[in-house]
Amino acid sequence: MSTQRFPLPDVGEGLTEAEIVEWRVKPGDTVAVNQVIVEIETAKSLVELPSPWAGTVTALLVEEGDTVDVGTAIIEVSSGAVAPAAAPAAAPAPAAAPAPAATGSGSGSVLVGYGTADQSGAGRRRRRTAAPSEPTASAAAPVAAAAPAPAPVVERVETTPPPAPALPKASANGGPSSGRVAPDGGAISVPAAPGSNATFGRVLAKPPVRKLAKDLGVDLASVLPTGPGGIVTREDVVAQAEAAKPQALATYADDDRPWLASGSVSPDGRRTRVPVKSVRKRTAEAMVASAFTAPHVTVFQTVDVTKTMRLVASLKEDREFAGVRVTPLLIAAKAVLMAVNRHPEINASWDEDAQEIVFKHYVNLGIAAATPRGLVVPNVKDAHRLDLLHLAQAIADLTATARAGRTTPADMSDGTITITNVGVFGIDTGTPILNPGEAGILAFGAIRQQPWVHKGKIKPRWVTQLALSFDHRLVDGELGARFLADVARVLAEPSRGLVWL
């Protein structure tokens, strides 16, 4: 009988931990391959994890509500498989020296730059053996191969092997830049140094399968291979994509304080302490890193948007926009895209490790959205290619998905510039903090009717305030001012966009 342990996989980009929300099985239950065994909450979404094996659950290694690191074993399953016969019982085999092997938490998806945990404790320890798709020097490999389904990681108790070196740290933007433009017109960069992505290099998959995984946002290193020789098949990728679909945040009827759900109330009832986790924890980490890494500068401009309001009213009556939500934010988003086209230097990021600036030749437009789980910033991919109608549809889908708690990590990755609509809360303006990895963020304030000098006379006009925060390492004052002025010009006179097309 073979007992296997399932480590918590990396279900998203850059995630290092997750909270166990609900176990769907208990010790003694029989499970099948791809049966959902647990629901976890990451910093981005709720995800159901399937079982990689068929067998009987022998132990749940973590409790509901626990937050565990990626790679930590969470469940133990007995497959019932019989291991290959060892040496005859009458002649005990001498103890074999431990074979060199990678050590760590057992994760099949170690994050680049983090490496594996260096466990220096004495005595016996846990050790992972590679999946059939990985080369292995362990004597326990035949036992792993006897499992009914390929497993990404199998943990067994053995003597202490030498610790494995941590993986080299990769740059924050995917690797140092070489000054070459990518064939698809993407960022100017080159792959990270050899060895920095070695974990992913061992995944066996054909080019069409790799393309499918990229299109679906699936990390091949987290897929359970079922093909001959441990190769990842198309069905494996599709199954992983289906299993990784996030779910809406669980709420209760008449629950108007979801943020207190996991808290503990003080004996006098005057305080509630809530652990910082999930979206709130990730947002706090990102904002602290951004605020104290990038030198922020904010410039402001007050603009008459009366003509923008007329355009919005006109589009609402347009038959092509029937069923599409049209708001001033849509025109502001289009104005930002036009300004980026005129000032492409602002569409960049700072690579601290390589000490280089990475210019992006595409615009993934982030829209900050307030949700019950906290602030998320999904982005419209390749927004620069969309006309006004398709941009309106993309923004509507993006915000609806975010408020329903179904935003995936891929939706929030690789943003290039962001808009935060503080005006929807009646706020005039603010000094927004940059989304990490971006050089600019525009705060779009409330639109109010107020006295305004128009053509030499005081008239009631629709007026708003814009605030642009930018990274002063990448954007100097002149560039920031010109960019904001161009956004304002389009909002003041939308027909200006026809001149800049």
In the chain, helix, strand, coil percent, each to 5? 25, 25, 50
Q: Which residues contact 7 (CB under 8 A, 6 or more apart)?
A: 70, 71, 72, 73, 74, 105, 106, 107, 108, 128, 152, 153, 155
The CA distance from 442 to 341, in Å, is 16
Task: Calculate the dihedral angle through the C-alpha atoms of 28, 34, 36, 41, rounding to the nearest 10 degrees.
Answer: 130
Q: How far is CA 180 from CA 189, 194, 343, 356, 438, in A?
A: 6, 18, 20, 13, 20
Torsion of CA 288, 291, 294, 300, to 10 degrees: 150
Active-site residue, from 296, 343, 361, 472: 472
Integer angstrom CA distances of residue 360 from 182, 318, 349, 386, 458: 10, 34, 8, 17, 44
Active site (annotated) includes residue 384: no
What is the distance of C-alpha 312 from the center of its chain? Answer: 33
> Can you tell me the distance from the alpha carbon of 500 to that of 142, in angstroms, rounded to the nearest whole number?
66
108 with 154: CB under 8 angstroms?
A: no
| Alpha-carbon span 208 to 224, nearest angstrom | 17
Is 35:51 a contact under the CB 8 Å cutoff? Answer: yes
**Which secondary-structure segment (H or E) carries 371?**
strand 369-371
Alpha helices in 148-206 (DSSP H): 198-201
Nearest to 287 by CA among 410, 363, 409, 376: 376
DSSP state letters, 291-340: HTTS-EEEEEEEEE-HHHHHHHHHHHH-GGGTTS---HHHHHHHHHHHHH
Cα Dmax for the chain: 107
Q: Which residues 6+ apart lie within 8 Å of 499 measured at CB?
A: none
The tally of CA atoms less than 13 A away on the side-chain side of residue 414 is 18
443's tokens: 């705060």
Q: Strands, E, within 401-485: which ranges? A: 417-420, 440-444, 448-454, 457-471
Kind of pairing, strands 125-130 and 153-158?
A: antiparallel
The Cα 83–Cα 80 span in angstroms is: 9
Residues annotated as catalytic are 472
